[in-house]
Amino acid sequence: MVRRVIEVEGLTKYYDERLAIADVTFSVPRGQVLGFLGPNGAGKSTTMRILTGYLSASSGRASIAGHDVFESPVESRLRIGYLPESTPLYSEMRVADYLRLMCRLRGVHPRRQADRIDFAIESCGLQARRRDIIGRLSKGLRQRVGLAQAVVHDPDVLILDEPTSGLDPGQTRETRALIVELGRRHTVILSSHILSEVSATCERVVIINQGRLVADDAPGNLGKRLSQDRATQVELHVIGDRDRILAVVEKVRGVESVTVNPTEDGSWEVLVTGRRKDLQDALAKAVVKGGQGLRQLQSRQLSLEDIFLELTASEEVPVG
C-alpha cells in the first residue's frame, strides 16, 4: 500500500479568468488527520472538489492511493468518502435506505452491505434513527448522516468540507469528537475557517490563503515556529527613576525597543519589544535586581488566533 495516500502537486484552478487556487502542493501520509485551514474564499472547497474529481484542475496533479484523480476517476473515488460543505442528502429517503443506496453506488459487496450499514450507523450514533426520514432530522443529526455516508463503504480517505459549519456549540462538540474517532480508522482531510477547531482535531495543519499555501505544520509547532521569529511584547509598570529604568531594561539581552510613558498613579508604563522566549522572566529579574519597584508585568504573546489572522491577512501575493 502506498504510504502517501493523498498527493497533490502544483494544483492550480481558474474559474474562467479568476484564480481560485495557485500551485497547491502537499501530501498526506496514511492515517493522518489533516486540517485544511483558511478564511472564506481561500480555495478550500475548490481543492477538495478537485480531489474528489468533481472539478478538474487547470493544471497540476492529484492522486489518491496512487490513482490519479483525472485519469482513473472511478478507482480514486472508490477510496474516498466525501462530505460536501452543505451536507446534501436525499431528504425523502430513510437513513438506512439511503446508506444502502450509497453502498450500492460505491461497490460494497451485496453480502457485506448490511454489516457496513450497521457499522456506519453505530459509529455515527444513529441507532435510534435508522428508519427516520432524513429531511425530518435536525441539522446535527443530518450532519451525522452525512458522515455515515462518507464512511459506509470504508474508504481509505475522508474528505470533510467544513463539517461543523452551521451547527450549534453542542452539536459542534459532538461532531468534532466523532471526527477524531473516525480519524483512527481513516486518513482525513478536514477543512475549516476556525483555528481552534483544527488544532483540537488535527495532527497537522495546512493554512491556505487566497489560493496559496502559507503554512504547513503540527498545530503546536505552528504556534512555536511563528512566535520564534516574531517579536514578543511585554508591558511592565515600574516605580522609580525614568532614566534608571531605561538603562536597566535596555541592558537585558534580546531587547530591541523600549518606550516609557508616565501613568496616572505615578508609575511608569514600560513597553518592551524583543526577540527572546523568556523575555518576561529576564525583564522581571533585571528590574528587581536594579532596585526598581515592579508593580505589574504582562506578556502580550500572540495567540494562535493572532497568528492565523496575521498569516491570512490580505497581503499582496506575487502572481505566477
Partner 1 sequence: MVPAAVPQPPAPPALPERESDLPASRGGGLLWESGISKVAALAWREVTSYFVSPIGYVIAALMVPLVSVFAFLPAVLSGVPIAMDRVYGGLAYLLAFMAPFFTMRLVAEERRTGTLELLLTSPVRDWEVVLGKWLGAFLFFLAITAFLFLFAAVIVYYEPTHQVVSVGGLPLSIGNLDLGATLAGYLGLLFEAAALLAIGLLCSSLTQNQIVAAFVGLVVTLTLVFLLGLGTFLPSPLADISQYLGAYDHFASFNQGRLVAGDLVYFLTVTVGALFLSVRVLESRRWR
**Contacting positions for partner 1 (CB under 8 A):** 1-2, 5, 15-16, 23-26, 29-32, 49, 52-56, 65, 73-75, 77-80, 82, 84, 86, 88-93, 101-102, 104-112, 115-116, 149, 153-156, 184-185, 203-204, 212-218, 311
Residue 144, contacted partner among Mg ion, ligand ADP, partner 1, none, CB below 5-8 A by kind: none
Closest residue to bound Mg ion by CB = 45
Give yes or no for a contact between 295 and 237, defined as CB atoms under 8 angstroms apart. Answer: yes
Residue 25, contacted partner among ligand ADP, Mg ion, partner 1, none, CB below 5-8 A by kind: partner 1
Please state the closest distance from residue 46 (CB atom) to ligand ADP, in A: 3
| H/E element, 260 | strand 255-262
What lies within 8 Å, CB to CB, of 124 at 6+ separation is: 144, 145, 147, 148, 151, 178
The single residue listed with the C-alpha cell 448522516 is: 145
Distances in Å between the Cα of 284 and the Cα atoms of 202, 243, 253, 267 are 37, 17, 13, 16
Residue 32, contacted partner among Mg ion, ligand ADP, partner 1, none, CB below 5-8 A by kind: partner 1
CB closer to partner 1, 104 vs 277: 104
Please state the closest distance from residue 39 (CB atom) to ligand ADP, in A: 7
How far apart are the C-alpha atoms of 185 and 5, rounded to whole Å?
Answer: 13
What lies within 8 Å, CB to CB, of 8 at 6+ separation is: 24, 25, 26, 27, 47, 51, 60, 61, 62
CB closer to ligand ADP, 85 vs 118: 85
Please state the closest distance from residue 38 (CB atom) to Mg ion, in A: 9
CB closer to ligand ADP, 16 vs 264: 16
Please state the closest distance from residue 265 (CB atom) to partner 1, in A: 43
How far apart are the C-alpha atoms of 95 and 214, rounded to whole Å?
Answer: 40
How far apart are the C-alpha atoms of 148 and 146, rounded to whole Å?
Answer: 5
* Residues 15-54: x where in contact with Mg ion by CB under 5 A, - otherwise, as a string: ------------------------------x---------
Q: Kindly report the number of other CB atoms within 10 A of residue 163's CB atom.
A: 26
* Site of interaction with Mg ion (CB under 5 A): 45, 85
